[in-house]
A = this chain, B = another copy of it.
């Protein structure tokens, strides 16, 4: 039986860029699980299966519904153990710090570089909701938030220094091969790639080489995903 994931889509139905959904997509591919990604839009909260928190991903596995990408990762490791997303209890626990590093430290930089591009890529029916909710949260218009994005990029690249230093000693966050902590950080780049043509990295950045290895994984699953609409 194929798994089903409710997945944020842009104006173009093939255009999927939620970083949280990318985590789940990579996690399923890691385990060789077939996944149908159902397009969903911000304003279709009533169309999500229960229980949910009004956000995606929501995973449907037969009669089981699991919401939240972190819970989904735990569910997948429990029900489809091989190969594991977390190879030990501490590996899972440490990944939670890496998740919050990604969400609290790195995500805000991507917001400040790409949020106005994200708005443009959305389905017209989602655009008013997105603008209103994000401008309220950010305390500024989307255009103001991204006005100095060349400067923001300098700071974003500085914030990646821990990852860059680590990559000098091992190929992936999880060691010799990638696992869930890699997918968490990588999915941030898939969000940016799907939502904007603004390039986040310098061509020679070792983080870019790591990103390319993840783009190539699983027969190029991520690399084949449609990037930001022309």
Contacts and interface: CB of A to CB of B under 8 A. Distances in A.
A143 B109 CA distance: 31
Interface in A155-181: 159, 161-163, 165-166, 169-170, 172-176, 179, 181
Interface residues of A, number: 34
Interface stretch (A21-29, A97-105, A198-206, A222-230): A97-105
A90 B179 contact: yes
Contacts of A162: 97, 100-101, 103-105
Contacts of A89: 87, 175-176
A11 to B, nearest CB: 32
Highest count of chain B CB atoms <10 Å: which of A94, A98, A169, A174: A94
Nearest to A163: B97
A123 interface: no
Given A104-B161, A159-B105, A175 B97 contact: no
A31 interface: no
A188 to B, nearest CB: 13
A170 B90 CA distance: 11
A166 B90 contact: no
Interface string A103-131: 11100000000000000000000000000
A225 B61 CA distance: 53
A86 interface: yes
A166 B97 contact: yes
B96 A169 contact: yes
